Structure 1
């Protein structure tokens, strides 16, 4: 077996394989690389010792059985006995479902999560979107402080557990998307600073040192992260990747890292003969993120649309703190703007940022499915002091209205785990850092962050308390209760309607049109051939309908009268989806 390590500053490197020590040779054709050939079997432990120093795990280890900072284990992913052939499932027409393996079930494992996949298949979900699964300190955490981008968190089930989970998902017709973090790595157990110029002091991220994407040595750093992305797509037969906070990828090179990555993913899709896609999380509202590389864009296939979330959230809840302030001035108008223009901030003033922000999308050309629309995400719930979901403050009728706009709107819809039945369990920020100083620093940081949003310190759960994680686990008996069952059936019906009547792709933003009344709090979305009407107010509302014959295909309340006289009478907290050929 061939062992390789990039350690450009090392004078010598030793391979530690079991009880053996083998010198590695400098690669004459690849400066900075060290190689060694040695017999090895799956399960054998190995590490590297540059210049006689302490053993360091392989940065490209596919398995770290004892966690970060410990030796890796040889593994053969290609030997996995796949049971279900998989032709792939592309993004057009998708309904995404974001879940966290560690809290999707009380057990917090791939195996336990796989047992719940029939629930998602019956709901009509097309893709499960996993939050990060790369190794991180301790047993439980969100996963965004991972330190080994090629490996899989062992407490979840390790690489074998992920392979079996994906295979089981494919057996239910579900694709799998994985959330990956390229903008930073966690602060504990990270061997990369001792091996090469993986990080730079020229930039900072909110989470620590920035990855070196444009300085000396950055060719290999870029290849390291691109290689890990391709390895997950290829070896685990994933359908796509969600790229965390790409606005924190500091890169001044003529060709941005994301353009290189998207080109490599498109090439891999041709090689494996199945669709693959990238979804960016970006705070920039920059049309270049998803613009084709041929027009000097970055070529990412889609991006999260936080503006739509913020507009919908303020319209439902009336909240106005922090970044909700700009949307709360006229929430129905903000919601209408995002439904028809994609971005709310598309070059105008952002009071939250104290500057102008964003740029407009081309409504006539931009395919609406390239924006991901949602009412809730791990960020928007977990970054609240109490981790409270919409169901904690809204009744079932308003939750039904939110679902109608997400699932029958113009964007690719995404649900957060438990949203489909109005889960009452919170989803909190939790960690399991073994370093006491780091754990205390995290506590202090969260207190400062929440204080800036007006939450008092005693109200903030301790992220290191195991009970914080336990409270965040879904309560699986809950969807069987009557009210939860009604909401689940409503979500399933909306997904059926979407799949039956809306085209999978190609519809530009300009195809959607909206009418609304700010004071009465009703909105009518024309998303041909569907019309979605919602009344978020406390009083009945008469809403206009576009010309034509309207057939109700999903109505959230039985007492909603049928369309008449070119309009519709909506009781308070009602959503109606109509087919208008």
Structure 2
């Protein structure tokens, strides 16, 4: 019999794992090396599955209302949760919860994201609110709406060990983290977000998986020693049996968008996705997501995290690119951060010059084929100008806060003036701005790296690894152990600071900046020019033939004369400006003028 490869590679997410579908239970398990695969329902029923030519085992059974959980038995011995579990009520060491396909969110098509108009807010479910769950996010939606946010980005929520984790150690890509809430609560959150006219995207991790509670390799070669990453063996996207692995993760992307109603995804560290296939995994992912939603009104976006500065990441498939809608732009952050702080350790050693800030403002990427002293090789690609709506910029994000040795925020070492200046540069840039939770009210809370494991040996390995990772930082810092409750608790946002006038005023300026961005449509391709005279960075937006928006950013520690500027000041870094002719140290001013 001639193999039908399409039936192997193109399983829908509705055909992966086990679902209750009407009065039936339908099961599909990939275990190419198993001799026998069975499904055990609660402790009373066994469903024996049949194998096809591609290592896929399938079967069905009638459903009874008392059925709650199931597990997979390999070769009559090993009883494990399903790799495609949708929920694990007792966590990674429990069994899989039976989920009804009728949960599928058919009634809510979501809100298509226009990145030209987007102001993204990155948050971590566990530390964003006092409750630390989906319900806690819902209670803050009034606040986010008033701030002017129109896109929420959730850090990963796929099931990880314990109750506390950044989310990048998830081991069940399809399962909603049980400590955050139920499937129905997540669906309700997405609907509530949409009811405010706000879009919501999800951070997903396809380049690696966590080690604790990981059952994937017990079923098949999900990982390969062909490539190594920071997390060990890389995901098997191009080796033997990789067709199923590729489809497993592609359908995972479709699942989060279709079943829950997310408006798009942010793909973690795509430079850790190793694939030498004729069609790269990311290109196939983009094509399959497009195909799945082609007959609907839904247009999901895909945002990549990459430090390669490769324009092909955000070029269309027709242009031989990966087809991502946008990517994070580290160069923009690093050039400004290094200049304002003088930090030159690690990857910051490639930055620190004022001309790099100008270049970042003009083209996003600073390294476009130049030699990196840190990497000891050329970085980036010389090429055409990139559309600003394809680059996400930020003054803070979970990495740039959490992956510092002290996991401290800008406000703790920049001070108020520099922090507000950096935020203003991002929000008034032509690129897509992203705010990290709490940044907008001058939070000084740490964002420590944290985990929750009962394995003391593993906890100690993580602690030592984090210390070694930041060994290039000078000075001694008292870092809480990642497995301690302290590390998590100190990372929770302190909303009480909004009772302070200083924090409230800071928040009001952020609201003004977001409102200006939207009013003058700064991300919609408005023609702009940038200059750097001394340490004054200037962006001139030509709103129409008769008016301009002039943005001045003082990168120096002293006041600077700008007495030649005429027009109406619509926002500045302080209400107590030195005079109409000066801009204070590390201050900014936005002026609207007519010809």
Same fold flag (TM > 0.5): yes
Residue 213 of structure 1 is matched in structure 2 by 237
Residue 262 to residue 41, structure 1, CA distance change in 2 (3 Å): farther
CA contact (8 A) 2:105 2:187 kept: no
Quick one: structure 1 residues 562 and 274, their matched pair in 2 at CA, closer, same or farther if it must change by over 3 Å?
farther
Partner residue of 1:574? Answer: 587
Deviation at 1:188, TM superposition (A): 1.1
Partner of 2:228: 204
Are 1:264 and 2:264 counterparts?
A: no
Structure 1 CA distance, aligned partners of 2:339 and 2:228?
A: 35
Q: Give the equivalent residue in structure 2 for 1:239.
A: 263
How far apart, CA to CA, are the structure 2 residues paired with 1:84 and 1:489?
33
- Structure 1 residues 558 and 383 mapped into 2: Cα distance closer, same or farther (>3 Å)? same
Write out per-residue CA displacement over residues 511-554 of structure 1, whole angstroms, 9 at most, x where no aligned residue.
44322245xx32112244332211132222124979xx744322
Cα distance in 2 for partners of 1:80, 1:224 equals 18
CA 1:85–1:472 in 2, change beyond 3 Å: closer, same or farther? Answer: same
Q: Is the 8 A contact 2:429 2:522 kept in 1?
A: no
TM-score, normalising length from structure 2? 0.91
> Who is 1:2 aligned against?
26
- Structure 2 vs 1, CA of residues 440 and 271 (structure 1 numbering), >3 Å: closer, same or farther? farther
Task: Report if the CA contact (8 A) 1:281-1:303 is conserved.
Answer: yes
- State how 1:89-488 maps to structure 2 within 5 Å: 89-328=113-352, 330=353, 332-363=354-385, 366-456=386-476, 459-488=478-507
**Alpha-carbon distance in structure 1 between the residues aligned to 2:243 and 2:541:** 45
Superposition deviation, residue 85 in structure 1 = 6.9
Deviation of the 1:40 alpha carbon:
3.0
Structure 2 CA distance for partners of 1:160 and 1:302, relative to 1, 3 Å? same
Distance 1:92 1:470, change over 3 A: same
Query: What is the aligned partner in structure 1 of residue 54 from structure 2?
Result: 31
User: Within 2, Cα distance between the matches of 1:206 and 1:385?
Assistant: 18
Q: Which moved more, 1:309-318 or 1:205-214?
A: 309-318
Whole-angstrom distance in 2 between the partners of 1:48 and 1:268: 29
Q: Decide whether aligned partners of structure 1 residues 128 and 72 sit closer, same or farther in structure 2, where only a CA change above 3 A counts.
A: same
Cα separation, 2, equivalents of 1:78 and 1:314: 51
Question: Are the counterparts in 2 of residues 560 and 569 from structure 1 also a CA contact under 8 Å?
Answer: yes
- Give SS of 2:295's match: helix
Structure-1 separation of matches of 2:522 and 2:424: 17
Secondary structure at the aligned position of 2:440 is classed as helix
Aligned CA RMSD, in angstroms, stands at: 2.1
Aligned residues: 564
Cα deviation for residue 320 of structure 1 reads: 1.6
Query: Is the contact between residue 41 and residue 69 of structure 2 (CA under 8 Å) also seen in structure 1?
Result: yes
Paired residue for 2:63? 40
Q: In 2, distance between residues paired with 1:71 and 1:129?
A: 29
Query: Are the counterparts in 2 of residues 78 and 235 from structure 1 also a CA contact under 8 Å?
Result: no
Question: Partners of 2:577 and 2:224 in 1: how far apart?
Answer: 60
In structure 2, the gaps of 5 or more residues are 1-24, 544-548
Quick check: 1:41–1:74 contact (8 Å CA) kept in 2?
Answer: no
Structure-2 change in CA distance of 1:53 and 1:327 (3 Å): same
Whole-Å Cα distance in 1 between the matches of residues 494 and 106 of structure 2? 31
Distance 1:480 1:500 in 2: 29
Compute the displacement of 1:367 (Å): 1.3
Given that residues 359 and 365 in structure 2 are in contact (C-alpha distance below 8 angstroms), is that contact kept between their aligned partners in structure 1?
Answer: yes
**Structure 1 residue ranges, 4+ long, deviating more than 6 angstroms after superposition:** 80-85
TM-superposed deviation, 1:455: 4.7
What is the distance in 2 between the residues matched to 1:13 and 1:544?
Answer: 78
Greater CA drift, 161-170 or 227-236: 161-170
Report the Cα distance in structure 2 between the residues aligned to 1:527 and 1:542, rounded to whole angstroms. 21
**Whole-Å Cα distance in 2 between the matches of residues 300 and 577 of structure 1?**
33
Structure 1 residues 478-517: aligned runs within 5 Å: 478-506=497-525, 511-517=527-533
Residue 570 of structure 2 corresponds to: 553
SS at match of 1:531: strand
Deviates more, 1:528-537 or 1:119-128: 528-537
Could you say what secondary structure the match of 1:514 adopts?
A: strand
Q: 1:348 to 1:483 in 2, by over 3 A?
A: same
* CA–CA distance in structure 1, aligned partners of residues 101 and 440 of structure 2: 34
Checking the alignment, whether the CA contact within 8 Å between 2:110 and 2:263 is kept in structure 1 is: no
Structure 1 pair 23–74 and aligned structure 2 pair: CA distance change class (3 A): closer
CA displacement at 1:26 relative to structure 2: 2.4
Shift of 1:210: 0.4
Alpha-carbon distance in structure 2 between the residues aligned to 1:295 and 1:200? 30
Q: CA deviation at 1:506?
A: 4.7
For structure 1, which segment, 392-401 or 439-448, has the greater mean C-alpha deviation from structure 2 after superposition?
Answer: 392-401
Alpha-carbon distance in structure 2 between the residues aligned to 1:73 and 1:559: 59
Structure 2 vs 1, CA of residues 367 and 562 (structure 1 numbering), >3 Å: closer, same or farther?
farther
